Amino acid sequence: MNDFSLLEKNIGISFGNKNLLLQAFCHRSYINENPGFLLGHNERMEFLGDAVLELVVTEYLYSNYPDKTEGELTSLRAALVNTKILSEISEGFGFIDFVFLSKGENREVGKLKQSILANTFEALIGAIYLDQGYGECRDFINKNLICKLPNIIKFGLDKDNKSRLQEEAQRIESITPTYKVLEEEGPDHRKNFTVGVFFGDNIIARGTGFSKQAAEEDAAGKALEVKKWFNKDCN
C-alpha cells in the first residue's frame, strides 16, 4: 500500500479519519477480488461527492456571473465538471498510484483510466465533506477546479465540439466541416458508428459512438486536438 500521507501532502488536506480517505480510493473491482478488505468501495462516496461538487460549482457560478442565463450557467457547469477535466486534476495529484484496483484493471488504459480518476475525484470530495465539512470542500474545489473557468469562457469550451470546430474552421481556414459515416458495427439496438470529419476532401479525424451524433461529436473533439484548437489549460 502506498503512503497516503504523501497524498494528503499533495492535496493539502490532513484527514482526521484516515479510513475515509482510503475508502475514497477503493474501486469496486478491488473489493470483488479482496472480499476481506475492511472498507467498502467508493461508489457511495462518489455519489455524495458528485452532489457536493455540483453545489459548490453552481453556487460559485450563480454568485460570480449574475448576467448569465440559466442555460449559460448550465453549459459552464457541464464544461467544468466533466470526466476529462476531473481526471486531469486527479492525474496531476498522482491519484492513479493510490487507487485500489483489481489485478485485472489496467491503470494505463485511456478512457478507463479517465473514468476511474474522475470517479475517484468525486469520491474524494465526498470523503472531505464527511471528514471536514462543506467549507473545506468548497476551498479545495475553488483552488483546484474553479481556476479553469476563465479559460473555459475565453476559448468557448462550454460549447459542444461540433460548434467549436465549425467556428474555428470558418475563422481560421474559411471552411465548413462535413461529417460522413465510415463504418457501422453491431446489432441494430447497439450499433457502433465510426464517423469521419472532413475539411473538403481531406479527412481530419475519426470518431466513434453509439449514435451518429455521438460519433460526430467525438470526431469533432479529435479534430480540435489534431488542429491544436483545443486549449484546455487554466495556467
Checking phi first, is residue 22 left (phi over 0); if not, alpha (psi -120 to 50) or beta? alpha
Flag whether 232 is in a domain.
no
Domain that holds residue 91: 4-154
| Domain match, 27 and 133 both | yes
Domain endpoint, select from 154, 173, 201? 154
The answer to whether residues 33 and 133 belong to one domain is yes
- Residue 112 gets which letter from DSSP? H
Q: pTM of this prediction? A: 0.73
Percent of the chain with pLDDT over 70: 94
Cα separation, 191 vs 193, in Å, equals 6
AA letter at 23: Q
Measured distance CA(104)–CA(94) in Å, rounded: 20
- 50 and 97 fall within a common domain: yes
Q: How many domains does the chain have?
A: 2
Residues near 14 by Cβ (< 8 Å), separated by ≥ 6? 8
Active site residue ranges: 50, 122
Residue 15 shares a structural domain with residue 84: yes
Question: 106 and 176: one domain?
Answer: no
Spatial strand order of the sheet with 192-199 comes to: 178-185, 192-199, 202-209
Do residues 17 and 50 share a domain?
yes
Q: What is the DSSP string of 37-58?
A: -SS--SHHHHHHHHHHHHHHHH
Side chain identity at residue 126, one-letter code: G
Residue 75's CATH number: 1.10.1520.10
Predicted pLDDT at 232: 46
Last residue of a domain, one of 154, 170, 186: 154
Give the tens place of pLDDT for each residue, 68-122: 999 889 989 988 998 889 999 999 999 999 999 988 776 655 656 888 999 999 9
Q: What is the pLDDT of residues 23-71, one digit of tens each?
A: 999 999 999 888 888 899 999 999 999 999 999 999 999 999 999 999 8
